[in-house]
């Protein structure tokens, strides 16, 4: 039997973390959650993940900083960045290799992005 994909969810909003974790479980993934980039980085160093799903704006370590650390450790891990910010992140996305989704999230687009990212891995 194949192991389910492991996903690290990093978001400072408890409701969003819970929702993303529940959706990922429904979609057949195992999800770990972290409430900020520093906590997410700690988990990432302890375990192996197929995908990191992170918010952009968080206190302390931002999502962009987290992705830079992830890329340094394992360039093959899929990354999806979520943001409500109007910041221009497309250039960073191309450079660091992440998919950018804007909030408010459309669940069908998120599911498609998760499946595509995991398949590409």
Put simply, whether the predicted model's pTM sits higher than 0.85 gets the answer yes
Kindly indicate the confidence band of residue 46, based on its pLDDT and cuts at 50, 70 and 90.
very high
In whole angstroms, give the CA distance from residue 105 to residue 82. 8
Evaluate if residue 1 carries a pLDDT over 70.
no
36 or 84, which is more confident? 36
Quick check: 100 and 90 in contact, CB under 8 A?
yes
Domains of the chain and any CATH numbers: 1-53+74-105 (3.40.50.2300)
Is the torsion defined by CA of 35, 38, 40, 42 positive or negative? Answer: negative
């Amino acid at each position: 039997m194949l192991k389910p994909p492991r996903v690290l969810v990093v978001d400072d909003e408890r409701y969003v973390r819970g929702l993303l974790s529940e959706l990922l479980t429904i979609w057949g993934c195992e999800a770990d959650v972290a409430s900020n980039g520093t906590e997410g980085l700690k988990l990432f160093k302890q375990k192996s993940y197929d995908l990191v799903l992170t918010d952009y704006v968080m206190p302390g370590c931002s999502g962009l900083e987290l992705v830079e650390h992830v890329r340094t450790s394992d360039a093959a891990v899929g990354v999806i960045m979520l943001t409500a910010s109007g910041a221009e992140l497309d250039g960073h996305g191309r450079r660091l290799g992440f998919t950018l989704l804007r909030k408010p999230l459309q669940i069908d687009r998120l599911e498609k992005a998760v499946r595509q990212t995991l398949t590409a891995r």
